[in-house]
Structure 1
Amino acid sequence: MYLPSAFRLDDLGTLHEEIDKARLATVVSHGASGLQATPLPLLLVREEGQYGTLYGHLARANPHWRDWQDGNQALVMFNTADGYISPAWYPAKAEHGKVVPTWNYISIQARGPIELFDDPQRLLQLVSRLSDKHEASRAQPWSVTDAPADYIDKMLRAIVGFALPIEQLEGKYKLSQNRDIADRQGVHAGLQNSVDLRDQLLAGRMPNSD
């Protein structure tokens, strides 16, 4: 990922927070079948390894995992906020007109080796933790134990789990930090006043524009 110094994010705690905020990651790898990518919800275990370890699972019918052997490298991408930035939001447009559109976003990329597993107990622990993570905000959270045990056993046989110890972790906060204060304030106001909730979310992630 291209990382100009103005947009680079190095703080490990913040990188982990962004991964936890991501609803869906994209896992990319290259093997005998060529380049493949699969969107997946992932679980981050922060205390495992130097940068943490990612866990997930794929459908056994998905050919992607069949290209993996223990130790194969994969790239995982997390995008937590993004939005189009109109030149009309820059005061500089009225001054000299030398402005162009851009796109602001927050992106985290992790790389590491893949370890496959299909042990039923390990898979059960993984799907339970993933479900607990995404059900936590609900008034009456669903739990894996709410489903019949024989049904869950059948579902576990239909998936393959994997662990990815993170060996390289990069973060990019492209939030108009390279613009002057007036332009940053214009971008913040433009996003905040948008009817698109995704733009409003991005406005809330911008550094202080005061």
Structure 2
Amino acid sequence: MYLREVHAETDINRLQDFVKDNPLGILTTAIKSTTYPLIQASHIPFILEVSDRHEATANGNEGSDTGLIYGVLRGHIAKQNPQAKALMDALAATQNEHHDPQIKELPEEVLVLFNGPAHHYVTPKFYVETKPATGKVVPTWNYSAVQAYGKIRVYCDSKSDETSSFLQRQLEDLSQHAETSIMGHTGGDRPSPWAVSDAPVSYVNLLKKNIIGIEICIHRLEGKFKMNQDKGNGDREGVIQGFKDLKSDVGDNIARTVKERGDLKDLKDKRA
């Protein structure tokens, strides 16, 4: 992604929180195959695991050569998905090449894109300072996104205890995260969360045979908040008010984010 300094977010904790808050990622792969397209993408909800062993620095743009890991993404894909089939074929070829059936990781780097909850067109009419003064304004689009890069491990042997355990943990963790963090099902005054154990074991085991597990160690994490930080305070206030006047959830979200990112930029400028 094109990262102008004014729009770039390099705080690893903020980027990780963004992924946790917006877990539906777009897994993009470029795997050479005579059967399936080279470039494929699928929308997949992910769990981001961050622990003490996942080191982080203030610079999220370092490559895998540094040995740093910014977290591990875990997800699953239906076996009938052509992207899953390409991953399984690539894994089998890698295992055969190295004569090692225990290999799980593919050599190709993959990308997972996470988009923010709101994006919107920005009319030049919102720039209440510059438009009347010079007219030198054009439309743009406000959005936020994080890109995670890393090597992918594939768990697809339905007869393997390792695959079964990975998928069980993945399904339980993903359900728990979605039920509590997204749905707010935390018990007490709120509804209790649904759990995988609420479904029959035989049913869950049947479903597990029809999916594959994926795990991505993140070696590069990049984020962008394009929210009018490059504008002056007057134009920024015009954008905030303009989006508030839309009287919509998206408008309110954008207005709030424009203010937050503008305040962060102003604070950074004062410290510089």
TM-score by length of 2: 0.74
> How far apart are residue 23 of structure 1 and its match?
4.2
Inter-partner Cα distance in structure 1 for 2:86 and 2:244: 44
Q: Contact 2:23/2:47 (CA < 8 Å) preserved in 1?
A: no
Question: Counterpart in 2 of 1:183?
Answer: 235
For 1:151 and 1:21, locate their aligned partners in 2 and report how far apart those are by CA, in whole Å. Answer: 29
Q: Give the 4+ runs in structure 1 shifted more than 6 A.
A: none
Q: Does residue 40 in structure 1 map to residue 44 in structure 2?
A: yes
Which runs of 5 or more structure 2 residues have no equivalent in the other structure? Answer: 55-68, 92-104, 157-162, 186-190, 264-272
Tell me the SS of whatever aligns to 2:119: strand
SS in 2 for 1:6: coil
> Residue by residue, what CA displacement relative to the aligned partner does 1:22-47 show, whole Å, maximum 9, x if unpaired?
14110101112311000010000012
CA distance in 2, matches of 1:158, 1:169: 31
| Pairing 1:113–2:151 present | yes
Amino acid at match of 2:193: P
Which string of whole-angstrom CA distances, capped at 9 and with x for unpartnered residues, describes residues 179-208 of structure 1?
A: 000001111111122133122112122235
Contact 2:27–2:111 at 8 Å: present in 1 too?
yes
Match of 2:113 in 1: 77
Q: Aligned residue for 1:13?
A: 13
State the partner residue of 2:76. 57
**Partner of 1:103 in structure 2?**
141
1:124 aligns with 2:176: no
In terms of mean alpha carbon deviation, does 145-154 or 70-79 score higher? 70-79
Q: RMSD in angstroms over aligned alpha carbons? A: 1.4
Q: Write the distance in 1 (CA, Å) between the matches of 2:142 and 2:240.
A: 11
What letter matches 2:169 in structure 1? Q
For residues 170 and 178 of structure 1, the distance between their equivalents in structure 2, rounded to whole angstroms, comes to: 19
**Max Rg structure:** 2
* CA–CA separation in structure 1 for the residues paired with 2:74 and 2:243: 34
Unaligned runs of 5+ in 1: none
Q: String of CA shifts for 1:111-147, please: whole Å, max 9, x gaps.
A: 1111001411210110000000010112221100000
Question: What are the within-5 Å matches in structure 2 for residues 118-197 of structure 1?
Answer: 118=156, 119-136=163-180, 137-138=184-185, 139-197=191-249
TM-score (norm 1): 0.95
1:44-65 C-alpha deviation (Å, 9 max, x unpaired): 0012532001010000111102
- AA aligned to 2:227 is L
Distance 1:199 1:61 in 2: 38
Look up the match of 1:90: 127
Alpha-carbon distance in structure 2 between the residues aligned to 1:181 and 1:3: 22
**Contact 2:10–2:222 (CA under 8 A) maintained in structure 1:** yes
CA contact (8 A) 2:240 2:259 kept: no
